[in-house]
Amino acid sequence: MPFILALFLIKPRSVAVKRLVRRLLKWGLILGLTGVLLGVAAIAVTYWMVEPRLPTAAEIRDVRLQVPLRVYSRDGKLIAMFGETKRMPVDITEVPIMVRNAFLAVEDARFYEHPGIDWRGIVRAIWLLATTSDRRVPGGSTITQQVARNFFLSNEYSLTRKVAEIFLALRLERELSKDEILSLYLNKIFFGYRSYGIAAAAEFYYGKKLTDLDLAEAAMLASIPKFPSSGNPLNNPDRALIRRNYVLERMSEIGAITPEQMRAAQSEPSHAFPHEPAIELDAPYLAEMVRLEVIERAGADALNNGYKAFTTIDSKLQEAANAAVRDRLLAFDQRKGFRGPEARVDMSTLTTVEARRAAVGAYRSVSGLMPGLVTASDAESAAVILADGQVILLDLAAVEWARPRSESGALGPKPKDVSRALASGDVVRVARDAEGVWRLSQLPRVQAALTAIDPEDGSIRAITGGFSFTLSKFNRATQSNRQPGSSFKPFIYAAAFERGFNPASIVNDAPLAFADPSAEGGVWKPQNDNEKFLGPMRLREAMVLSRNLVSVRLLDAVGINFAREYIQRFGFPPESLPPNLSLALGTSSLPPLALARGYSVFANGGYLVDTYSVEHIEDDSGNAIYTAAPKRACRECIARVAGDENDGAASADDLSAMLNGNSAPPETAPALTVPDIASPSGLLAPRVIDERNAFLITSVMRDVVKRGTGRGAMVLERNDLAGKTGTTNNFRDAWFSGFNPALVTTVWMGHDDFSSLGDREFAAQTALPIWVDFMRVALGDVPEMELVVPNGITTARIDAAGNLLAEASEGGIVEFFKTEDLMRLSVVDENSSGKQDAEQQGIDLF
């Protein structure tokens, strides 16, 4: 071009020269025009090639960000977030001007002025791509181009992709406002550690909302997207500081801050460190249950579509469950002695504080138990350094529980000086007590599960599947099939009451023997836990004292087949119920949640409800995509009248024949009539047992709490509690299931490897305290609820042997009976003097 211009300035000296100038000028113009035409053609061809890959205007306006699934309690507390990314989308109006300016200064200072393309940068990028072998060249990409690339294009480094990026950037500028483009950018960019978007980055690195960031923090965040993995302040703090200070310089150059503000911010050290999401309620076992259900209902994409799952969990009750399980497991474990340090390290290799902190940092904090390294110990105290560098002192009172425990389980004496328990180089666990004092602790080996449900509709109000989800994701509340022991007896009694037995029936607590080739000596001899026998006794007392032999005789009397069929009404699958007399001793295999569901039938008056944990699921726009419609007991519903008639009561002749061996009990339970009637709040749950049976069993279990194996619950000073303990052979499992009309709670304690909890570790000393601690909080604001006597239940006075007393008699024991049972017994009493014999009463077993 300069040469052609020179031709115009040079005065031709001859005709030949003039012709040459004209010819050169002609060809110059032709070549120039050809170049322009070729350029336009190249652009047109390129556009034709890339246009099919460009999103439409509708697609641009329907951009969706990957947002994790959030799980909430019923009172709105965040329980968990699931998804491939940590992202909290924000509107541009929620991003402070200072934060916006930090990104604009370093990424695209002319963002609000250019049409979406920085032409000088583009030309430079094309030139470098064409003339060098380096495919990763700076391209002068504007924020609009970065949005185009991050949302709609690949990260391929090629001329074709660059051209597509240009065209798409221009289209974005036509379809969206500048603020909409900036909002997409700030919500999309990657900041390392699975954090996407400015709000998630502020939360992760500083634990702050955007409005709480200071200038240095905002500049640091703006520095990260250039090198999100290798240049963030956690992986490379020195490089991040250099980059942050550069951002501050750029902010000063464009006038976003003053030089004084720049220097003040540059002088601040980096204080970024990882902050986990702001989880408000610790319920990880429940969260995993919800995650799986959401995937089942909405597909795997639901984890990244910004869905919200609202659960049935009550945060107050969940916190109480967590505390009860944690505290009681720690107390039980410490009662078994100190197993020694988790590890020992050579202190000669850890000569600096940083090295010691790093050694401690290799161990995770678990359920409030902090790892620590003993650096020195003597008779009076031990110095322990924590992962954050804090040094604490443990005195003798802090370690007094740490009796040495041998491999055989034998306990040594309490330590008389600290150095006998702790030595330099020991890696141990420490925790603060209720007064904030540091004490020695250890990770318990024993496990527990707690589940609490509303018997009205089966909604789960609290659930804890173990000591720590971090250590074990196995949910013992729903996945662990364990033998319930004596806590299963109420179902055996319910089957017997269905066949005409009642709380005053006399059954013999005496030795039994059954032929069993699989048992030692070919004979099975069930035993009571104390290996003693109390002789003939009323069923109410047998339940209160948890007599095994009475339950076995009772099951034998009503028949195994009938009992198994009847007990399935409580929601237990048939394969979980052994087809032999051991069923009476609780040898079925059930998870705690299933047992709680079974107990809810007693608590709600005879209805089987389904347990559930998700109330509703919303999409990212707040539209409900799923709403639970639970079947409800709804005892007060008018629609119940048609479906609540009694069924299946045995006649006096049937009972007499059964007890004399002349007739076998029915092979199957009477058919159930399930009303299919809608109620205002959902479907009605089916009645599965007689309301009077539920009442009688509840009445008996209230006595278990008042004066039997569950009397430890009386510390709650309530009269509306019912429940039953359960302890299995060799003390492998400990249970307590208890309830009032408002809440059913089941607690299990044991070892995952089925080893013994220890000699004489009955449920009353292990599982019941957890139940009490939880229910103290759960029922703290709940008034006592009266046990309503249903129609068809009558009271009468009996003596200790179960004999009816005349109406005019004083004293005796007031007992509940079904009306037809009492009428039958009254007839017997009128036609006999003195005590009733077994055949007449129809329910005495010796």
Catalytic positions, please?
Answer: 107, 486
Written as one string, the DSSP assignment of 370-388 is: EEEEEEEE-SSEEEEEETT
Helix (H, G, I), strand (E, B) or coil at 705: helix
Q: Is 323 exposed, middle or buried (0-12, 13-18, 19+ CB in 10 A)?
A: middle
Residue 755 · residue 446 · CB < 8 Å: no
Tokens read off for 4: 């052609």
Strand segments, DSSP code E, in 143-287 are none
Beta strands in 751-812 (DSSP E): 793-798
Return left, alpha or beta for 367; rule: phi > 0 is left, psi -120 to 50 is alpha, else beta.
left
Degrees, nearest 5: CA angle 814-818-822: 70
User: What residues contact residue 452 under an 8 Å CB cut-off, 6+ apart?
Assistant: 317, 321, 460, 461, 462, 463, 596, 743, 744, 745, 746, 774, 778
Q: Are 73 and 283 in contact (CB under 8 A)?
A: yes
In 3D space, the residue among 546, 541, 548 whose CA is nearest the CA of residue 502 turns out to be 541
SS3 343: strand
DSSP-based three-state secondary structure for 696: helix
Do residues 405 and 337 touch, judged by C-beta distance below 8 A? yes
Q: Give 464's strand partners.
A: 450
Cα–Cα distance, 552 to 133 (Å, whole number): 87
- For 401-446, list the strands marked E by DSSP: 426-432, 438-441
Are the beta carbons of 763 and 754 closer than 8 angstroms? no
Provide the b/e sequence for 373-410 (b: ≥16 CB within 10 Å).
Answer: bbbbbeeebbbbbbbeeeebebebebbebbbbeeeeee
CA distance 631 to 687: 11
Q: CA nearest 322: which of 312, 314, 332?
A: 314
The two tokens of residue 635 are 């005892």
Residues 6+ apart with CB under 8 A from 691: 605, 606, 644, 790, 792
Rounded to whole angstroms, how far apart are CA atoms 732 and 749?
A: 9
Q: Give CA angle at 738 (734, 739), nearest 5°.
A: 165
Neighbours of 788 (CB within 10 A): 11
Residues 6+ apart with CB under 8 A from 364: 371, 470
User: What amino acid occupies position 600?
Assistant: S
Q: Is 33 exposed, middle or buried (0-12, 13-18, 19+ CB in 10 A)?
A: exposed
Distance, CA of 418 to CA of 414 (rounded, Å):
10
Q: Would strands 78-82 and 69-72 be described as parallel, antiparallel, or unpaired?
A: antiparallel
- Alpha carbons 121 and 129: distance in angstroms, whole number: 12
Cβ contact 440:374 at 8 Å: no
Q: Which residues 6+ apart lie within 8 Å of 100 measured at CB? A: 92, 182, 186
By the 10 Å C-beta count (0-12 exposed, 13-18 middle, 19+ buried), 72 is classed as buried
